[in-house]
Amino acid sequence: MDEDDRPRLKGDAASKLATEDLGPYSQDELEERIALLKAEIARVEKHRLSAAAHRDAAEALFGRKE
Protein backbone atom coordinates (compact mmCIF):
# COMPACT_ATOMS: atom_id res chain seq x y z
CA MET A 1 0.00 0.00 0.00
CA ASP A 2 1.39 3.41 -0.93
CA GLU A 3 1.99 5.91 1.83
CA ASP A 4 -0.66 8.23 0.33
CA ASP A 5 -3.26 5.45 0.38
CA ARG A 6 -3.00 4.82 4.10
CA PRO A 7 -5.66 6.33 6.36
CA ARG A 8 -4.61 9.47 8.21
CA LEU A 9 -3.69 9.05 11.83
CA LYS A 10 -6.05 10.57 14.36
CA GLY A 11 -4.60 13.65 16.03
CA ASP A 12 -2.34 15.66 13.79
CA ALA A 13 1.11 17.04 14.59
CA ALA A 14 -0.20 20.58 15.14
CA SER A 15 -2.49 19.35 17.91
CA LYS A 16 0.41 17.58 19.58
CA LEU A 17 2.58 20.70 19.31
CA ALA A 18 -0.16 22.80 20.88
CA THR A 19 -0.09 20.71 24.07
CA GLU A 20 3.70 20.66 24.49
CA ASP A 21 5.11 22.46 27.55
CA LEU A 22 7.19 25.39 26.29
CA GLY A 23 8.70 26.14 29.69
CA PRO A 24 11.96 24.23 29.17
CA TYR A 25 12.79 26.03 25.90
CA SER A 26 15.31 28.87 25.79
CA GLN A 27 14.58 32.14 23.97
CA ASP A 28 16.76 31.00 21.05
CA GLU A 29 14.98 27.65 20.87
CA LEU A 30 11.61 29.41 20.87
CA GLU A 31 12.73 31.73 18.05
CA GLU A 32 13.89 28.70 16.05
CA ARG A 33 10.56 26.96 16.72
CA ILE A 34 8.65 30.04 15.53
CA ALA A 35 10.72 30.16 12.34
CA LEU A 36 10.06 26.47 11.66
CA LEU A 37 6.33 26.90 12.28
CA LYS A 38 6.16 29.94 9.97
CA ALA A 39 7.94 27.94 7.25
CA GLU A 40 5.45 25.10 7.73
CA ILE A 41 2.51 27.50 7.51
CA ALA A 42 3.91 28.88 4.25
CA ARG A 43 4.32 25.34 2.89
CA VAL A 44 0.74 24.40 3.80
CA GLU A 45 -0.63 27.64 2.31
CA LYS A 46 1.28 27.01 -0.93
CA HIS A 47 -0.12 23.48 -1.13
CA ARG A 48 -3.66 24.70 -0.36
CA LEU A 49 -3.47 27.30 -3.13
CA SER A 50 -2.09 24.71 -5.55
CA ALA A 51 -4.88 22.28 -4.68
CA ALA A 52 -7.49 25.02 -5.13
CA ALA A 53 -6.06 25.93 -8.53
CA HIS A 54 -6.09 22.26 -9.54
CA ARG A 55 -9.71 21.93 -8.42
CA ASP A 56 -10.70 25.12 -10.26
CA ALA A 57 -9.04 23.85 -13.45
CA ALA A 58 -10.86 20.53 -13.19
CA GLU A 59 -14.17 22.28 -12.59
CA ALA A 60 -13.56 24.53 -15.61
CA LEU A 61 -12.86 21.48 -17.76
CA PHE A 62 -15.47 19.05 -16.46
CA GLY A 63 -18.00 21.32 -14.79
CA ARG A 64 -18.71 21.78 -11.12
CA LYS A 65 -19.54 18.61 -9.21
CA GLU A 66 -22.81 19.03 -7.29
Q: What is the tens place of the pLDDT at every residue in 49-62? A: 999 999 999 999 99
Q: Is 43 inside any structural domain?
A: yes
DSSP 31-53: HHHHHHHHHHHHHHHHHHHHHHH
User: Which amino acid does the sequence have at 43?
Assistant: R
Confidence band (pLDDT; 50, 70, 90) for 29?
A: very high
Give me the domain span that covers residue 58: 27-66
pLDDT at 63 over 60: yes
> Quick check: is 34 in a domain?
yes
Classify residue 37: in a domain, yes or no. yes
Alpha-carbon distance values, 63 to 4, 39, 53, 59, 66 (Å): 26, 35, 14, 5, 9
The verdict on residue 21 lying in a domain is no
- pTM comes to 0.70
25, 33 in Cβ contact below 8 A? yes
Whether 31 maps to a domain, the answer reads yes
Does the pLDDT of residue 47 top 90, yes or no? yes
Look at the chain and report how many structural domains it folds into: 1
pLDDT surpasses 70 at 40? yes
In a domain, 10, yes or no: no
d(CA 29, CA 35): 10
